[in-house]
Copies of this chain bind each other. A is one copy, B any other.
Amino acid sequence: MDYNNEIEILDNDFPEPLCAACGQQHSDEENHFYAYTDEVDDDLTCHICLHALVEPLDTPCGHTYCTLCLTNFLLHENFCPVDRKYIMLQSCKKSTVLVKNLLDKLLVICPFSEYCQDVLPRCDLEDHFLNR
């Protein structure tokens, strides 16, 4: 067996390390990715990425997006994607405890399903990886 080839194959399969928070492979410019057990309420989804909000940020006009999604959007635009009102990233604020709690308790499936069948609140996934 050609050892170098094996490394190469492994490198191709895993070009980046797995994220310690979500257990998936993604760059720093991409959101965490979670597998939810149930359909997520439309109102808890980001209007940019259409997934459940991650690190939600509120605009002054009252809309909520993932921090990463809105940050990337505002690199090229200066308006809220929903109502097109003028906004600046600096005037957006972290969402409230209420919204954070609703997202924290969304149930997700451990991504290492080959070895683990656990279902747990999204906020517990990072600790779950450490304590398995």
Contacts and interface: CB of A to CB of B under 8 A. Distances in A.
Interface of A: 41, 43-44, 58, 62-64, 82, 94-102
How many subunits of this chain does the assembly comprise?
Answer: 2
Nearest to A64: B98
Contacts of A95: 62, 96, 98
A58 B94 CA distance: 12
The list of the 8 closest CB pairs from A to B, nearest first, reads A43-B101, A62-B96, A62-B97, A64-B98, A58-B96, A43-B98, A43-B102, A64-B96
Contacts of A43: 98, 101-102
9 contacts: A41-B102, A43-B98, A43-B101, A43-B102, A62-B94, A62-B95, A62-B97, A62-B100, A95-B96
A43 B101 CA distance: 7
Contacts of A100: 62
A105 to B, nearest CB: 8
A89 B103 CA distance: 27
Contact of A96 (B41, B63, B97, B102): B63
A50 to B, nearest CB: 15
Contacts of A94: 62
| From A41, A44, A98, A100, residue with most partner B Cβ within 10 Å | A98
